[in-house]
Amino acid sequence: MRALLVVNPKATATTPRVRDVLARALGSDLKVDVAETQRRGHAIELGAQAADEGLDLVVVLGGDGTVNEVVNGLLRPLDDGNDEAATRAALPALAVVPGGSTNVFSRALDIPHDPVEATGHLLDALKEGRSRRIGLGRADERWFTFTAGIGLDADAVRLVERARAHGRNVSPTRYAWAAVRRFFHGTDRRHPALTLEIPGHEPVTGLYLGIIGNTAPWTYFGGHPITVTPTASFDTGLDLAALRKLGTVGTLWAASGMLTRDGIRGRSVCTWADLSEFTLRADRPMHVEVDGDYLGEREGLHLRAVPQALRVVC
């Protein structure tokens, strides 16, 4: 079995020691090449190369951003007009050893948070032949594994990425403060920009933001799960939560529900579950993110669920 180990050396919990231990452990049973990412977008290229070369497995040592890039590279052949079922069957499987600060995707797969324990978990899964197919989401041309967003949450991601570029540590606290900062300074809370269009249904107007879930929890604050849509799952379609109002009290009440298993709540909240396809149109440019990576501003986002898109070893 041929494998590629993709390492993000800048990820929070990734160290040369963890990389070497993982490479040696995998090398006892697999033919493994090791590649370190050098820039943003490099992991997409590495994932695409692994698919083109017909490798059996790609192991990611990094955070959710690196996982997202590798997934987008692995699944690139599905965009080339090939027979989808045959192409999907031939793609490499994915495995993850968490090396980031939050690691939402790996936690959703019940992979141990500690990299050393996760390595042992992966080796056991390979020996026992454990794997599963999971559904993913697409936001326009970009695949995502656990979430996408348009509006305030994406704006907060933008600020966090800017802080990271200036050498500051990334943490859930920094994200929370970024969201609060943009809520009070920089967000138009009087004029909703979004309209939801679901095929076969009347458009829903007057929305301020949209958070899309492909699994739950949505993220973590340290060890505490943060839930937006509790029914989101790799085995169903996409869930969506949107807000009709951005008043201070109502928004705080809505957000407080995210600290519970029940998810976002309140009279200003609208939720939809198990959607196969929908579009969020904006009357002005809105910030967009996928899996915690900022994509820029767009005047809308087309989203769809892709069942059993990827095989993961877990």
Mean pLDDT value across the chain:
94
Which residue from 96, 65, 107 is spatially nearest to 289, judged by alpha carbons?
Answer: 65
Residue-wise pLDDT tens digits, 182-212: 999 999 999 999 999 999 999 999 999 999 9
Q: Maximum distance among all alpha carbons in the chain?
A: 60
Alpha-carbon span 186 to 198, nearest angstrom? 29
Alpha-carbon span 165 to 152, nearest angstrom? 20
Task: Identify the pLDDT of residue 81.
Answer: 63
| Domains within the chain, CATH numbers bracketed | 2-130 (3.40.50.10330), 147-308 (2.60.200.40)
Residue 7, φ and ψ in degrees, nearest 5? -120, 130
Alpha carbon of residue 19 to chain centroid: 23
Task: Identify the pLDDT of residue 82.
Answer: 64
Task: Identify the pLDDT of residue 245.
Answer: 96
Neighbouring C-beta atoms of residue 10, cutoff 10 Å: 15
87 pLDDT higher than 80: no
Confidence tier at 80 by pLDDT (50, 70, 90): low
This prediction's pTM: 0.94
Which residue from 229, 205, 203 is spatially nearest to 216, judged by alpha carbons?
Answer: 229
Residue-wise pLDDT tens digits, 129-157: 999 999 999 999 999 999 999 999 999 99
Tokens representing 295 are: 């994509």
Which residue from 313, 310, 303 is spatially nearest to 74, judged by alpha carbons?
Answer: 310
